[in-house]
Chain A
């Protein structure tokens, strides 16, 4: 059974801080790891990491994948109040399903 564990479960920071969100996983025949951001609606896609793409960056957000240690981190630098959301990590393996973790609730205070 595929498994995804995210930490911390919640985080409160002030604008301008840098945050690191963690995602560890167990999956049979790893194919990809995905990060999503969810505000008061459906999750929106941030990054997908695979064996051939272990680092991604978009503006203030970046992510890396460590396939040996079976984890990924999502970094957000110079946080803004608009970054407040639930951040979800998901993995995909040979079982075709997409398994999510419980998410990290990030709150950025002005």
Chain B
């Protein structure tokens, strides 16, 4: 069965903490994406990666960074968490631009 797995369903962190969100896929996807989802705003792209060690900024990269050291793992890093980063975070994997994207179950992050 196809799997994109995010390490946590729910997280609560304090303002100023460094936060790591992990995403692992077992489909040999070339492309991986991190989105955040807020009510009424749909999915907004934070960063994506089309190969190991390659990363591209999406529409809202400020306050975030990513790491892709291995093909199957794509990590999202909040360098210094702030309350406006409270959101649902979704990871997705996609084999190429002609295939569908598969999503992880999401991580609901609350920054207090």
Contacts and interface: CB of A to CB of B under 8 A. Distances in A.
Interface of A: 1, 6, 9, 31-32, 34, 41-45, 48, 50, 88, 90, 92, 96-103
B98 to A, nearest CB: 6
Chain B interface size range: 20 to 34
Contacts of B48: 96-98
B105 interface: yes
A34 to B, nearest CB: 6
Nearest to B50: A96
7 contacts: A32-B98, A96-B97, A97-B45, A97-B48, A98-B45, A98-B92, A100-B35
B104 A42 contact: yes
Interface in B82-99: 90, 92, 94, 97-99
Contacts, number: 61
A41 B106 contact: yes
The 7 closest A-B pairs by CB, nearest first: A102-B42, A42-B103, A100-B43, A45-B100, A103-B42, A31-B97, A100-B42
Interface majority SS on B: helix, strand, loop or mixed?
strand
Contact of A97 (B33, B98, B104, B105): B33
Given A42-B104, A43-B103, A98 B33 contact: yes
Nearest to B44: A100
Given A97-B33, A98-B94, A102-B42, 14 more contacts: A6-B42, A42-B90, A42-B106, A43-B90, A45-B101, A48-B99, A96-B31, A96-B50, A98-B45, A98-B92, A99-B59, A100-B44, A102-B40, A102-B41
Nearest to B94: A98
Contacts of B59: 1, 99
